[in-house]
Amino acid sequence: MSGFDLWSEICETKRLLDLALSEAKSRGWKMNEAEANYYTVKDLRVRELLGENKSGTVIQMLIKGESEVNAAMNEFHDAQVEYKNACEAINVYKKWLDTLREQYQREWSQAGRE
C-alpha cells in the first residue's frame, strides 16, 4: 500500500471515528432519557401498588409482570445496547487508526532510507 493510499485510509478512518463519537453522544442521551423514563414508570407503579396496601416483597414480583414497566425497561436496555455498540465502534476505529498510522510511519521511514 502506498503512502498516498495509507493517508487516504487514515483520513477515512478519522471521519468514521468522528461519526462514531457523534453517534455515541446522541445514543448516550437517548439511553439516559430511556433510563429516566423506566425509573419514573416503575416508581409510579410502585406508588400505586403501595396505595393498594401491597407488601414490599410482593410489589417487586408484581412489577416484573407489568407490561408498561417492562416496555420502559426494554426501551432502556435497547438504548443501552445501542450506546455500547457505538462505544465499541469508537474503540475499533481508534485501534485501526493507530495501526494505519504505524504503517504510514514505517512507509515514510523506509522511503527516507532509499
Is-contact 47 13, C-beta < 8 A? no
* Coil, strand or helix at 2: coil
Question: Does the model's pTM come out above 0.85?
Answer: no
Domain around 95: 3-113
Question: Which CATH number belongs to the domain containing residue 80 in this structure?
Answer: 1.10.287
Residue 111 has pLDDT above 70, yes or no: no
Going from the C-alpha of 9 to that of each of 12, 15, 25, 93, 111, the distances in angstroms are: 5, 10, 24, 11, 19
Total tally of structural domains belonging to the chain:
1
pLDDT tens digits, one per residue of 12-54: 999 999 999 999 999 999 999 999 999 999 999 999 999 999 8
Taking only the tens place, the pLDDT of each residue in 53-82 is: 988 888 988 898 899 999 999 999 999 999
